[in-house]
């Protein structure tokens, strides 16, 4: 596990975007695993700027997002499908037919998750998987548990995750209570993993991910066992790692 120190959020975003753009330049038809949330937005904005300058070309790239709220259709402004279009895909030249997000509108959780696993496997798994990390150490929506999850599955979101995500909704009552998420085993199949983290609220989770015991109580800790994992985090998120 490589740890790259960034001065602040903007520096973290640039460094992460550098790693993602290098992957695309080296393998123009690569498969990217992508994340939502506020942390990666800066990296997406930087990649859009580089695309506009002609420095990186996404025409052959395909993407698979980690997760989606259960019960939200693609056009729902709170869906992750909508988030990705707004914050990234509409700013670059990617073929939207090559972008994939779990089907939150499918009420049949088993069918929706099995279909997404089939698609990710058929794509050969990501060349690079981008991850954020939750305050409780979750990756994707894989919450602290007694076991590491395997394939895509339906999860009940914890109160801490619902609280953290409520800032994006008009009311906490509007936050979905379940989500479809790639499993930890699926995430670990990626050939390289890039974790981004910023701010003091992530400091304990980042420390546990990098230096704590490998335990499903901190799902991100399993990344210690990945052969090609890079963490880019700002000074506040790395405060406990010195």
* d(C-alpha 43, C-alpha 22), whole Å: 13
How many CB atoms within 10 Å of residue 99? Answer: 20
CA dihedral 194, 199, 205, 206 (to 10 degrees): 50
- Contact status, residue 234 vs residue 199, Cβ threshold 8 Å: yes
* d(C-alpha 68, C-alpha 133), whole Å: 16
Calculate ∠ Cα 164-151-41, nearest 5°.
35
- Burial classification of residue 132, based on how many CB atoms lie within 10 Å of its CB (0-12 exposed, 13-18 middle, 19 or more buried): buried
- Contact status, residue 220 vs residue 139, Cβ threshold 8 Å: yes
| Helices (H) then strands (E): counts for the chain | 7, 10
- Write out the catalytic residue numbers: 67, 136, 138, 143
4 by DSSP, 3-state: which?
strand
* d(C-alpha 67, C-alpha 138), whole Å: 12
* d(C-alpha 28, C-alpha 98), whole Å: 13
């Amino acid at each position: 596990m490589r740890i790259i120190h960034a001065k602040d959020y903007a520096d973290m975003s640039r460094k992460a975007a550098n790693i993602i753009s290098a992957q695309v330049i080296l393998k123009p038809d690569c498969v990217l695993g992508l994340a939502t949330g506020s942390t990666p937005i800066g990296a997406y904005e930087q990649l859009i700027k580089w695309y506009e300058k002609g420095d990186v070309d996404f025409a052959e790239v395909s993407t698979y997002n980690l997760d989606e709220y259960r019960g939200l259709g693609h056009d729902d402004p709170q869906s992750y499908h909508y988030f990705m279009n707004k914050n990234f895909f509409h700013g670059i030249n990617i073929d939207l037919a090559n972008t994939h997000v779990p089907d939150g509108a499918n009420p049949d959780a088993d069918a929706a998750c099995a279909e997404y696993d089939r698609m990710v496997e058929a794509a050969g798994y990501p060349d690079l998987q981008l991850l954020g990390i939750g305050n409780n150490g979750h990756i994707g929506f894989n919450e602290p548990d007694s076991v590491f999850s395997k394939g895509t599955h339906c999860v009940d979101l914890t109160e801490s995750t619902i609280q953290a995500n409520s800032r994006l909704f008009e009311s906490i009552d509007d936050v979905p209570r379940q989500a479809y998420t790639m499993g930890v085993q699926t995430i670990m199949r990626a050939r390289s993993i890039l974790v981004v983290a910023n701010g003091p609220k992530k400091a304990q989770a980042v420390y546990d991910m990098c230096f704590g015991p490998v335990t499903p109580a901190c799902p991100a800790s399993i990344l210690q066992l990945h052969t090609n994992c890079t963490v880019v985090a700002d000074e506040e998120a790395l405060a406990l790692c010195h």
